[in-house]
Amino acid sequence: MSWRRFFRRSSWDRDRAEELRSYLDIETDENIARGMSPDAARRAAHLKLGNTVRIREEIHRMNTIGPLETFGRDLRLALRGMRRRPGFTLAVVLTLALGIGANTAIFGVVDGVLIKPLPYPNAGELVSIKHAAPGFSVPDLPMSAAQYFTYREEGRAFQHLGMYGDGGTTITGIGEPEQARLLGVTYDVLQALGVRPQLGRLFTEADAKPGKGRFPPVVILTDAYWKRRFGGDPAVIGRRLIADSDPVEVIGVMPRGFRFLDMQPPAEVIALLAFDRSRLAIGGFGFSSLARLKPGMTVADANADIARMLPMWLSAWPTPPNSPGRHEYEKWKITPAVQPLKDEVVGGVADMLWILMATIGMVLLIACANVANLMLVRSESRRQEFAVRTALGARRGDIVREVLVESLALSLIGGALGVALAYAGLAMVVATAPASLPRVEDISLDPRAVAFALVVSLVSSMLFGALPALKQAAQHGTPLAGGARGASTSRERQRTRNALVVVQVALALVLLVGSGLMLRTSVALMRVQPGFTPGDVVQTARVWVPPPQVPDPERVTRLQQEILDKVAALPGVTAAAFASAVPMEGPLRVWTQPVYVDGQRDTPGTTPPLRRMKTVSPGYFSAIGTRMIAGRDITWSDVYGHAKVVLVSENFARELWGSPAAALGQRVRDSAPASGEGWREIVGVVQDVHEDALFQAAPAFVYWPTMMENFGGTKLFTMRAVNLVIRSNTAGGESLLNGVRSAVSSVNSSMPVFLVRTMKDLYDQSMARTSFALVMLGIAAAMALALGVIGIYGVIAYLVTQRSREIGIRLALGAAPTQLKRMFVRQGLVLTACGAGVGLVTAVAVTQWMSSLLFGVERLDPPTYAAVLGVLVMAAAMASYVPARRAAAIDPVETLKSE
C-alpha cells in the first residue's frame, strides 16, 4: 500500500468501474451471440460477474491507510459538528485564539531577547569579564588597562580578550562637522566577536600603537554610517577623515546587520583603543571587557583563570603617588565575575519577561479551563447520541477518539487564528516596548514562534479535550433511556465543572493582584518628587568643546557662557544653564569620587566614601526646576573669580551635619587634605534629585562649579562636555532647536549639538519599564477576569437548564422567585469564594517573583488584595445573577409539560 495509491484512489475507482462495465458489455455480446435476448444476456452477464459494488469496495479497501482514513472521517465529522453549532465553535476558537495568540507573541519576545544566541558565530563562547569588589562601594568594578594586559598575556582560558568603551567624536573632512557615535575597542574585540568586515580589514595588533591623537589613526565604519555619509562608495577604504582634529584613515566597513552588543544608539565609527604599556598604572577602572573562551572552557574555568591572575596584576603594575596604594586595592576584595555575554546584554529584563510569560501562560490555562467546560457541556448534550451509537456497535475507543479529534481540530483552528493575532500583537509589543528592552531587533514571529504556537495548540487540546473524552469513556454503558434524569452521574460531572471554575477564579485573582500591584507601583512612582521639572518645558542638548580648537580652560567656560547668553535671548526661553549631566541620562554619566569633609577624622591611608558629583553652571537648578533649600546658588563671578564654593544636596547635608542650614559654611574637597589647597565652602543646599531612576533613592550629591582651580589634579579644571538646560514653553520644537544650533555655531562653527531631548523624554524612559509591565499585566488580568466571569456564568447557566424541572416543581409548590435567584447566586459566590481562597494562597506565593518590579508598595499590600477580592466578588455575583434571573422566570407549567 502506498501513499501515491491512497491519494489516487478515486481515479483508480473510475478506472475499475469502467473495466467492469467493459466485462459486462463483452459478456453480454457473447451471450447475445449464443442466442439470448438482450435483456436476458445482460442479466446473465451480471450474474456471472457478481456484485460490482462489492468488488470495487474490496479494491478500494486495498488502497486504504487505516488510521489515516478513520482520522479523516473523524475530522470530517468534527468539522460538520462545528458548522452545526456556530456559537459554540466561535466561543471555543476565539478563546483559544486569544490565549494562544498572546502566548505566541510573548514567546516571540522572550525568544528574541532571552533565548536566541547573540548574532555572532559560536556566541556561546562569548563572555563578559567583570569584577566584584565587595570592599569598594561600586557594584561592578570595570576593567583597567593594566588588567587587560595581564589577562591577555597570562590568561589560559581565552582565545581573544578585549576591552571597549563608547563615546562621541566629531568627524570633519566630509561636509558638515558631525558628532558620530563612537565605539572604542582594543584590536582583539572584533576578532573575539568573530565578525568579518564587508570591505577592507579589521584592526590588527600592529595597528595598536598609541599615536599623537586620541586614537591610533585607523577607523572602521559601520554599514549604516558608510551608506549615510559615503553613499555606500567602496572607494571609502583609504580615505582620510578628521576625528577630533586628528587625521584618521578608513580601513574597513562592518557588514550590514552588525550590531555591537546592544549599544544604543548604535555605533557609527569604530576606533582603536591603544595603550602605552610602559606608562600604565595599576588602576583606572573605566572599560568594559569581553572575551571568547577557548573551545571546551566554561565560565567557571574563566573565573578560576582570572582569580589566578588577579594577584599577578596586583603585584606587577606601578601605583602612582596620588592614588590608593596596593594594600588599598587588596581591601577592595576584588573577585572575578565572568558571565555569558548574553546575560550582560540582556541585563535586568529577564525577570520582567519571564513574569510576562508566566502571566500569559496563566491566561492560556484559564482559557483551556473554559474550553474544557464548554466541551464537557457539549459532550453531555451528546450523551444520547453517543448512547445510540454505542448501541449500534460503535466501540468506546471510536467515541473517545472522535472527541479528541474534535478538540484537536478546534485548537488547531484556534492556533492558526492565534498566530495571526500574535503577528499583530508582536508589532504592538515592539512598538510599545521600553527603550531599555535590549535586542528589540531580534524579535520576530519566526518559525520557532509558529512551532511554539503549534505545540501550545496541541498541548491545550490535550488539556481541554482529554477531560471530556475520559469522562465519556468512563460513562460507557450509559443506558439508552434516562436522558436528563440521570441526576447522580450529572452531579459528579458538575463537580468537575466546579473544579474548573475554581481554578479559573484562582488564576484570575493571581493576575488581578499582579496588575493591581503594578498599578499601585506606577501611582507611587508618579507621586515621587523627581527633584526636577519632568515636563516638556525643559530642553536639553549636549555640546562639547574640543581641546585642540580651544585649549585654554577659561576660554572654554567663556565660550559656553556666550552660548547660554545667545540661547537665553531666543524667544520663549526663560532660563538657560548647563551641567556636566542631567538627571536620568543613564549609567554613562555617573561620576563618583571620594569626597573629603573638613572636620571628619580620616584614618591615614584610607579614602573617604565615594560620592556622586557633577559640575554645574550658575542658574542650573532654577532652569531644571530643583529648589534651593538653604543658602544661595553659585554666580558667574564665583566661577571667574575662582571662588572656593560648592553646593550639596539636602540628603548629603543631613547625613553629615543633621540639617541643610548646618551645612552652610562647612568645607569639602576632592583630593586628600595633604595635597595643599583645595577646600571649598558649602554656600548652598539644594533639593534631592532622583538622578538615576524614580524607583531608585535620590543619591547624595556634590555640585562643583563648572570651572575650578586645583581640582581633579589639574591647575585649572573646566568641564568641556556639558548638557545645556533650556527652560522654554517651546521646548521640543524645531524652532527652538534651530535657534540653539545657530547660537552654538555662531560661537564656534565646528561644534556639534547632539543628544537633543526634553526632560519629559528622559522621565518617560525611566517610567517605561513599569508602564510596559503595567500595560501587559493589565491586559492579561482583564482577559483573565473576563474568562473567569464567562466560566462562572457558564456553570450557573448550565445548572439552571439542568435543574429547570426541579425549579418548576419548587415554583409550583410555592417557592418565591427571589429565593430561587438567591440560591443560584449563592452557588456562584461559593465557587468564587473557593477560587479566591486558592488564588490568595497562590498570589502570596507567586508575587515574590515580581518584587523586583514593585516600588512603594508591599507585595502583600492589603488594599490591593481587598480591591481585587471586591472586584472579583462583584463580577461573580453579576455573572451568576443573569442565569439566576432566568431560573426565577421559569414557567412551571411549561417545564413540567416538556418533561
Partner 1 sequence: MPKRESPMQSEMLQGTLDMLVLRTLVIGPAHGHTIAHTIERGSEAVLQIEHGSLYPALHRLENRGWIVSFWGTSDNNRKAKYYRLTPTGRKQLAAQTTRWEEIVRAIGRILNPSTE
DSSP conformation class of 111: I
DSSP one-letter string for 357-409: HHHHHHHHHHHHHHHHHHHHHHHHHTHHHHHHHHHTT--HHHHHHHHHHHHHH
* Short-list 523, 427, 439, CA closest to 767: 523
User: Is residue 23 a contact residue for partner 1 (CB under 8 A)?
Assistant: yes
35-43, 52-60, 157-165, 745-753 -> range binding partner 1 (CB under 8 A) = 52-60
Q: Are 875 and 791 in contact (CB under 8 A)?
A: no
Pick the closer one to partner 1 by CB: 63 or 359.
63
User: Is residue 44 a contact residue for partner 1 (CB under 8 A)?
Assistant: no
Q: Are 356 and 106 in contact (CB under 8 A)?
A: yes
Q: Which of 6, 8, 18, 591 binds partner 1 (CB under 8 A)?
A: 18
Binding mask 54-73 for partner 1 (x = CB under 8 A): xx--xx-xx---x--xx---
Task: Look up residue 429 and give its amino acid.
Answer: V
User: Is residue 51 a contact residue for partner 1 (CB under 8 A)?
Assistant: yes
User: Is residue 5 a contact residue for partner 1 (CB under 8 A)?
Assistant: yes
Query: What sign does the CA torsion over 137, 143, 144, 148 have?
Result: positive
Q: Which of 40, 49, 391, 893 binds partner 1 (CB under 8 A)?
A: 49
50-58, 221-229, 379-387, 618-626 -> range binding partner 1 (CB under 8 A) = 50-58
Cα gap 521→499, rounded to integer Å: 33
Pick the closer one to partner 1 by CB: 26 or 526.
26
Q: Are 770 and 853 in contact (CB under 8 A)?
A: yes
Residues within window 62-121 making contact with partner 1, judged by CB under 8 A: 62, 66, 69-70
Residues within window 493-522 making contact with partner 1, judged by CB under 8 A: none
627: left (phi over 0), alpha (psi -120 to 50) or beta: beta
The number of beta carbons lying within 10 Å of the beta carbon of residue 492 is 11
Tell the smallest beta-carbon distance from residue 59 to partner 1 (Å): 5
Question: Which grid cell is 105?
Answer: 507573541
Q: What residues contact 802, with CB distance under 8 A and at least 6 apart?
A: 484, 490
For residue 195, the number of C-alpha atoms closer than 13 Å in the C-beta half-sphere is 25
Q: Give φ, ψ of 712 to 5 degrees.
A: 60, 30
Pick the closer one to partner 1 by CB: 9 or 152.
9
Tell the smallest beta-carbon distance from residue 17 to partner 1 (Å): 10
What spatial distance separates the first Cα and last Cα of the chain, rounded to whole Å?
A: 53
Q: Which of 48, 156, 196, 476 binds partner 1 (CB under 8 A)?
A: 48
The number of beta carbons lying within 10 Å of the beta carbon of residue 817 is 16
26-34, 213-221, 569-577, 824-832 -> range binding partner 1 (CB under 8 A) = 26-34
Task: Look up residue 34 and give its amino acid.
Answer: R
The number of beta carbons lying within 10 Å of the beta carbon of residue 825 is 21
User: Is residue 8 a contact residue for partner 1 (CB under 8 A)?
Assistant: no
Cα gap 849→702, rounded to integer Å: 36
Tell the smallest beta-carbon distance from residue 401 to partner 1 (Å): 11
User: Is residue 478 a contact residue for partner 1 (CB under 8 A)?
Assistant: no
Pick the closer one to partner 1 by CB: 6 or 591.
6
Pick the closer one to partner 1 by CB: 61 or 485.
61
Q: Report the SS3 class of residue 683.
A: strand
Pick the closer one to partner 1 by CB: 16 or 589.
16
DSSP conformation class of 251: E
Q: Report the SS3 class of residue 598.
A: coil
19-27, 275-283, 603-611, 673-681 -> range binding partner 1 (CB under 8 A) = 19-27
Pick the closer one to partner 1 by CB: 76 or 326.
76
Helices in 111-209 by DSSP H: which ranges? Answer: 145-154, 187-193
The number of beta carbons lying within 10 Å of the beta carbon of residue 288 is 19
Cα gap 92→368, rounded to integer Å: 9
User: Is residue 34 a contact residue for partner 1 (CB under 8 A)?
Assistant: no
Pick the closer one to partner 1 by CB: 61 or 85.
61
Pick the closer one to partner 1 by CB: 17 or 138.
17
Pick the closer one to partner 1 by CB: 49 or 841.
49
Q: Which of 15, 176, 249, 806 binds partner 1 (CB under 8 A)?
A: 15
Cα gap 150→138, rounded to integer Å: 22
Size of the site for partner 1 (CB under 8 A): 27
Tell the smallest beta-carbon distance from residue 86 to partner 1 (Å): 31
Tell the smallest beta-carbon distance from residue 70 to partner 1 (Å): 6
Pick the closer one to partner 1 by CB: 63 or 770.
63
For residue 340, the number of C-alpha atoms closer than 13 Å in the C-beta half-sphere is 13
Tell the smallest beta-carbon distance from residue 23 to partner 1 (Å): 5
Tell the smallest beta-carbon distance from residue 55 to partner 1 (Å): 5
Pick the closer one to partner 1 by CB: 15 or 655.
15
Q: Which of 6, 7, 10, 26 binds partner 1 (CB under 8 A)?
A: 26
Binding mask 755-774 for partner 1 (x = CB under 8 A): --------------------
Task: Look up residue 325 and give its amino acid.
Answer: G
43-51, 143-151, 446-454, 548-556 -> range binding partner 1 (CB under 8 A) = 43-51
Residues within window 804-843 making contact with partner 1, judged by CB under 8 A: none
Pick the closer one to partner 1 by CB: 65 or 174.
65
The number of beta carbons lying within 10 Å of the beta carbon of residue 816 is 11
Q: Which of 19, 492, 565, 858 binds partner 1 (CB under 8 A)?
A: 19
Q: Are 791 and 373 in contact (CB under 8 A)?
A: yes
Cα gap 852→695, rounded to integer Å: 10
Q: Report the SS3 class of residue 664.
A: coil
Pick the closer one to partner 1 by CB: 27 or 262.
27
User: Is residue 22 a contact residue for partner 1 (CB under 8 A)?
Assistant: yes
How many residues would you count in the chain?
899
| Residues binding partner 1 (CB under 8 A) | 1, 5, 15-16, 18-20, 22-23, 25-27, 29, 48-52, 54-55, 58-59, 61-62, 66, 69-70
